[in-house]
Amino acid sequence: MPSNLPNLRRLFVEARTEAEESAYSRNAFYNLVLFMSSVAVFSLAAQRMAKVATASQ
């Protein structure tokens, strides 16, 4: 059964120009890459700290 609610994504896209939409998409992509990179860095740091902690026992 289809919903009667408006498609919010489409409303936001229609409210922006093509250049604005492209800038928002690019910014979101870079934020995602930055987030994934920081997760990887913290994961590697935690693994190294765990190895050092187990080696010193």
In a domain, 21, yes or no: yes
8 or 1: which leads in pLDDT: 8
pLDDT at 53: 85
Break the chain down into helix, strand, coil percent, rounded to 5.
80, 0, 20
Quote the domain boundaries for residue 35.
8-55
15 or 27: which leads in pLDDT: 27
In a domain, 2, yes or no: no
Q: Quickly state the pLDDT bin for 11 (edges 50, 70, 90).
A: confident
In a domain, 16, yes or no: yes
pLDDT at 35: 98
In a domain, 3, yes or no: no
> What DSSP string runs through 1-54?
---SS--HHHHHHHHS-HHHHHHHHHHHHHHHHHHHHHHHHHHHHHHHHHHHHH
Percent of the chain with pLDDT over 90: 53
